[in-house]
Amino acid sequence: MTGAAVQISHLSKRYSDFVAVDDVSLDVAPGEFVTLLGLSGSGKTTTLMAVAGFVDLDAGRIAIDGRDIAGLPPEKRDLGVVFQNYALFPHLNVFENVAFPLRMRKWTQPAIEKAIGRVLDIVSLGHLATRRIAELSGGQQQRVALARALVFEPPVLLMDEPLGALDRSLRDQLQTEIKRIQRDLGVTVLYVTHDQEEALALSDRIAVMAEGKICQLATPDEIYENPASAFVAGFVGESNFIDVTMRGQDGPLATVAPTGIPGALFTATTSRAAAPAQAQAVMAIRPEALRLAALQDTPPCNAIPGRVALREFMGATVRLTIDTELGPMIVRDGRVSEAARFKAGDTVRLSWNERDALLFPPR
């Protein structure tokens, strides 16, 4: 099985006067794993179901390997779909659920048995073939749904929040498995989730969606390090946001005045063309980019005093909430770092590198 390319161009869908999907374009390369990541209601499912053939589009074109599939009913599109909550057939056992697409394709019984033996091994369910669906755990149902969507070797697999109903540890485990299966089979995957960690871990590229639009399409690293907007900076990973006023700009470096501290000046990085002086902006800093030190040290620039309000031990990392004149700031550092030594109540100095302070238009 080899993956096919998926081209989505200028997709739009409105429900009465509500725009659910707004001019979405997305090219997925053969064998690529692309995730639609967004809050609930951002149009992810609608986009995915449009590719599957269940949404009457108002505008747009969808092509698989260059072939326009707009006119094809769902059963002729030959795409594997894993639905939210699995949508297994409760009246059939595991074997017959997985056999369903093969029976529809009129495969012979020996061919069906061979294919199912193989696919159930891939999802480690070989021993459960005769079980009823109601007798399976959530994780097992999820594997059956995956097997059923893969057994007819579709070139493209669509998955809508496949891990949404499972608990954390099971989710991590299945996440790894989904990635492994996708690599082994070379199938193209278009994946939907609202969980940013899941998206970061699984995807070759992520399309961050909000209000029916794609607001950034890039690799996980790029999205995390170079978010396109304050929204993305806050939605993918954690960020501290500081309201500022632009004072001057020299290439990517800018001087800004924080709204909360009269007279203070910080330096920060902007990817945009020069913003006019006095323009409002928001500065985003990742929790792990903030450094903590004892207050008496000589103050560098880009620093503010604060007091540790809360110290949360997270295992590998420590998360501290620092009360400052700019409001509460989150700091995250390793378990054995210098920052981890501070306790609640300590007075500290927060500082950061100008490269890690990103400027965005106000939200």
Partner 1 sequence: MSARLRSAVPAALILPGFLLVAGLFVWPVAQLVATSFGDRAGALVHYVKIFTEPTYLRVVGRTLLLSAQTAMLCVLLGYPLAYQLNRAGGIGKAVILVCILIPFWTNLLVRTYGWIILLNPQGVINGVLRQLGLIEGAVPLVYNTTGVLIGMTQIMLPYMVLPLAAVMSRLDPAVMRAARSLGASPAQAFLKVYVPLTLPGVLGGFLLVFMLSLGFFVVPAILGGPRDLLLAQLIEFNINQTLNWPFAAALSTVLLAATVTLYWIGDRFFGLGRLWGAR
Ligand X SMILES: Nc1ncnc2c1ncn2[C@@H]1O[C@H](COP(=O)(O)OP(=O)(O)O)[C@@H](O)[C@H]1O
Binding site for ligand X (CB under 6 A): 15, 20, 38, 40-46
Lookup result for tokens 């999820």: 142
**Nearest-angstrom CA–CA distance, 117 and 111:** 10
The separation between CA 255 and the C-alpha centre of its own chain, rounded to angstroms, equals 32
Please tell me whether residue 79 binds partner 1 under the rule CB under 8 A.
yes
Please tell me whether residue 56 binds partner 1 under the rule CB under 8 A.
no
Q: How many CA atoms lie within 13 A of 314 on its CB side?
A: 12
From 39, 59, 70, 104, residue interacting with partner 1 (rule: CB under 8 A)? 104
Q: Which of Mg ion, partner 1, ligand X, none interacts with 20 (beta carbon under 5 to 8 A by kind)? A: ligand X
Q: Which of Mg ion, ligand X, partner 1, none interacts with 90 (beta carbon under 5 to 8 A by kind)? A: partner 1
Phi, psi of 243 (to 5 degrees): -75, 130
From 90, 262, 276, 315, residue interacting with partner 1 (rule: CB under 8 A)? 90
Q: What number of residues does the chain have?
A: 363
Phi, psi of 118 (to 5 degrees): -70, -50
Can you name the residues that pair with 328 across neighbouring β-strands? Answer: 323
Site string for partner 1, 144-183 (x = CB under 8 A): ----xx--x-------------------------------
Site string for Mg ion, 33-62 (x = CB under 5 A): ------------x-----------------
- Residue 310: both structure tokens together: 């809360």
Which is nearer to Mg ion, 161 or 333 (by Cβ)?
A: 161
Please tell me whether residue 292 binds partner 1 under the rule CB under 8 A.
no
Please tell me whether residue 193 binds Mg ion under the rule CB under 5 A.
no
Lookup result for tokens 């057994």: 151
Taking the complex as a whole, the smallest distance from the CB of residue 21 to ligand X amounts, in Å, to 7
Phi, psi of 100 (to 5 degrees): -50, -55
From 37, 42, 83, 340, residue interacting with partner 1 (rule: CB under 8 A)? 83
Q: What is the maximum alpha-carbon separation in the chain? A: 79
